[in-house]
Amino acid sequence: MNDSIQKRSNSIGVRLKEARKLAGLSQGQVANMLGLHRPSVSEIESGNRRVSAEELHRLCDIYDVSLDWVVGKASGSISPDDPRLELAARELSKLNPDDLNRLLHVIAAMRSDKDSGEGNT
């Protein structure tokens, strides 16, 4: 691999690893979802294995991140050390399952509106 391709693979791998951790998934869980062996996910995250377009699309869906973010064209990363993330997790853990499901539906609707351009005034 030439240097620019290697750097891009490493950058994509780092972002995929960050997204996986923020999604709360292990490499083994992701591997099962993709029909791969766990070491393949590790190789992708370390930049030692190219990720196919289909795998990249599926990973974006699994992690609920945009392709632009994964390839470095969009910002919006939340650091795992961000105290807001810890606060949000603590507050979410207090919700009963029905309330949590309702909240997740509201969030999904908000994202859908944003993605379709609705809700913007």
- 12 and 66 part of one domain: yes
Is the residue at 50 inside a domain?
yes
Question: Which residues neighbour 40 within 8 Å (Cβ) at sequence distance 6 or greater?
Answer: 31, 34, 49
Q: What is the pLDDT of residue 66?
A: 87
Q: Quick one: tokens of 37?
A: 């062996």
Instruction: Say if residues 41 and 34 touch (Cβ distance below 8 Å).
Output: yes
Q: Could you give the 3-state DSSP secondary structure of residue 94?
A: coil
Looking at the structure, tell me whether residues 88 and 64 fall in a common domain: no
Nearest to 56 by CA among 1, 115, 12: 12
Lowest-confidence range among 8-22, 30-44, 70-84? 70-84
78 domain residue, yes or no: no
- Specify whether 50 is located in the same domain as 14: yes
Domain span at residue 50? 3-70
Residue-wise pLDDT for 74-94, tens only, equals: 765 566 676 777 778 888 888
| This model's pTM is above 0.85 | no
Identify whether residues 14 and 60 lie together within a single domain. Answer: yes
99 and 58 together in one domain: no
